[in-house]
């Protein structure tokens, strides 16, 4: 901590992933250790130099951290496992950042790992009954939101489908993507719809994978002789839960609040953002969240996507990784995978999916419940 009590600089110094894939026979320990070793190699750090570990996971098992980290060495460091639905990885990253920013440690790792093996409903365990007996699946919830959005804004099914077209095109050059194939508008719109206007390719695949990010202080960079030119600054981290908004789309209202808080803490305007990795489990979410973030005015996201404003090379590059729609959504790793993408982009190391002159990136995840995490990263 600085003398004034303000957070000290914290940096992402290494990132790594195990490619996202369909649920298979790969042990979760192999998924996680692969990502961790890649992050260590990227940073130039040894495992015994890591001082604390946070693991984001949502659907695999309790107490999975110890079995995973012991493959790297039993060093006695504190381990914390975090479950926060789709924002599990984002929440683990935030806790690792706070450890560094407030002087608890100098080297922290955030790891996301999941195999979608076990899902449970907190409402059911709490004995809470709803009017439909939990029969409305997420795809129907978002199909209803899509119908309302199209009615209110004049957006078309083609506008929604173009989100999937864009993100599939981005994923072609992402070696970690679960769906690394470009899709045409006709392919995305091909029936049958799963619910409302949402077809299969407008819904994210839930698979397995892992992602890791190493966060360090200035002192660690100097003492360990790390490459400061490849360090990416964490400018802000915001995490909020919903309150009463008086609107059917509480995720959008929550996104608006959390994004505003993160931007204010980072000291940047939304117009300064070059890259956005956001929660696009369904195509409608990208349009709604871009408007909630004030990246574009209400009702304008559909035409803006169609005009290429959110392409790589456009006004703001959105989901250069392919997003949840094409990179995939293994749940626990997803938020840290976004950090890995932003870090790669801000370093200028994204190859054929590189967005030019990228300096400020925003990562956004919503978790069932609902919670929202937003992180701001920058190339200093």
With cut-offs at 50, 70 and 90, classify the pLDDT of residue 132: low
Burial (CB count <10 Å: 0-12, 13-18, 19+), residue 224? middle
Are the beta carbons of 67 and 80 closer than 8 angstroms? no
pLDDT digits (tens, 9 = 90+) for 142-194: 999 999 999 999 999 999 999 999 999 999 999 999 999 999 999 999 999 99
Residue 120 CB partners (closer than 8 Å, separation 6+):
none
Which pLDDT does position 116 carry in this prediction?
79
Can you point out the beta strands (E) in the chain?
10-21, 52-56, 79-82, 107-114, 193-195, 198-199, 208-217, 232-241, 275-277, 317-318, 360-367, 371-378
In this structure, what are the phi and psi dihedrals at residue 131, rounded to the nearest 5 degrees? -70, -20
pLDDT digits (tens, 9 = 90+) for 190-223: 999 999 999 999 999 999 999 999 999 999 999 9
Residue 366 CB partners (closer than 8 Å, separation 6+):
86, 87, 251, 254, 255, 279, 285, 372
Structure tokens at 312: 């790589």
Provide the b/e sequence for 233-265 (b: ≥16 CB within 10 Å): bbbbbbbbeeeeeeeebbbbbbbbbbbbbbbee
Numbered ranges of CATH 3.40.47.10 in the chain: 10-118+206-232, 132-180+235-378
Structure tokens at 320: 């250069």
With cut-offs at 50, 70 and 90, classify the pLDDT of residue 246: confident
Question: Which CATH code for domain 10-118+206-232?
Answer: 3.40.47.10
Q: Shortest CA distance to 139 belongs to which of 166, 160, 112?
A: 160
pLDDT digits (tens, 9 = 90+) for 108-120: 999 999 997 666 6
Average pLDDT, the chain: 94
The span from the CA of 128 to the CA of 132, in Å, is 12
pLDDT above 50: residue 76: yes
pLDDT digits (tens, 9 = 90+) for 13-31: 999 999 999 999 999 999 9
Whether the model pTM is above 0.75: yes
Q: If you ran DSSP here, which 8-state letter would residue 128 be given? A: -
Which pLDDT does position 122 carry in this prediction?
63
Angle at CA 365, nearest 5°, toward 201 and 240?
150
The span from the CA of 263 to the CA of 277, in Å, is 15
With cut-offs at 50, 70 and 90, classify the pLDDT of residue 3: very low
Going by CATH, does the domain composed of 132-180+235-378 fall within 3.40.47.10? yes
The span from the CA of 325 to the CA of 340, in Å, is 17
Are the beta carbons of 341 and 375 closer than 8 angstroms? no
Are the beta carbons of 133 and 38 closer than 8 angstroms? no
Q: What is the mean pLDDT of residues 318-343?
A: 98
Are the beta carbons of 149 and 155 closer than 8 angstroms? yes
Are the beta carbons of 301 and 287 closer than 8 angstroms? yes
């Amino acid at each position: 901590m600085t003398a004034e009590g303000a957070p000290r600089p914290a940096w992402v110094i290494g990132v790594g992933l195990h490619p996202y894939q369909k649920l298979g026979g790969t042990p979760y320990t192999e998924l996680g250790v692969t990502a961790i070793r890649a992050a260590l190699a990227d940073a130039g750090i040894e495992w015994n130099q890591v001082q604390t570990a946070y693991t984001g996971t949502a659907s695999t098992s309790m107490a999975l951290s110890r079995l995973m980290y012991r493959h790297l060495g039993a060093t006695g460091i504190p381990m914390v496992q975090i479950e926060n639905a789709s924002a599990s990885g984002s929440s683990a990253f935030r806790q690792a950042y706070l450890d560094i920013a407030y002087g608890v440690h100098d080297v922290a790792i955030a790891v996301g790992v999941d195999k979608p093996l076990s899902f449970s409903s907190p409402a059911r365990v709490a004995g809470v009954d709803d009017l439909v007996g939990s029969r409305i699946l997420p795809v129907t919830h978002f199909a209803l939101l899509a119908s309302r959005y199209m009615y209110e804004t004049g957006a078309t099914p083609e506008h929604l489908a173009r989100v999937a077209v864009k993100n599939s095109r981005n994923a072609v050059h992402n070696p970690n993507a679960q769906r690394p194939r470009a899709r045409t508008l006709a392919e995305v719109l091909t029936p049958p719809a799963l619910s409302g206007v949402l077809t299969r390719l407008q819904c994210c695949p839930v698979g397995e994978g892992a992602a890791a990010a190493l966060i360090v202080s200035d002192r660690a960079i100097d003492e360990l002789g790390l490459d400061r030119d490849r360090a990416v600054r964490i400018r802000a981290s915001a995490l909020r839960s919903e309150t009463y908004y008086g609107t059917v789309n509480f995720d959008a209202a929550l996104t608006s609040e959390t994004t505003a808080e993160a931007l204010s803490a980072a000291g940047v305007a939304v117009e300064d953002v070059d890259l956005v990795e956001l929660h696009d489990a369904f195509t409608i979410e990208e349009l709604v969240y871009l408007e909630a973030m004030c990246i574009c005015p209400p009702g304008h996201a559909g035409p803006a996507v169609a005009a290429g404003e959110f392409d790589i090379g456009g006004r703001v590059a959105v989901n250069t990784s392919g997003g949840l729609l094409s990179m995939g959504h293994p749940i626990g790793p997803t938020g840290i995978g976004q950090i890995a993408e932003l870090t790669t982009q801000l370093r200028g190391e994204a190859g054929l999916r590189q967005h030019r002159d990228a300096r400020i990136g925003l990562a956004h995840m919503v978790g069932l419940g609902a919670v929202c995490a937003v992180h701001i990263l920058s190339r200093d």
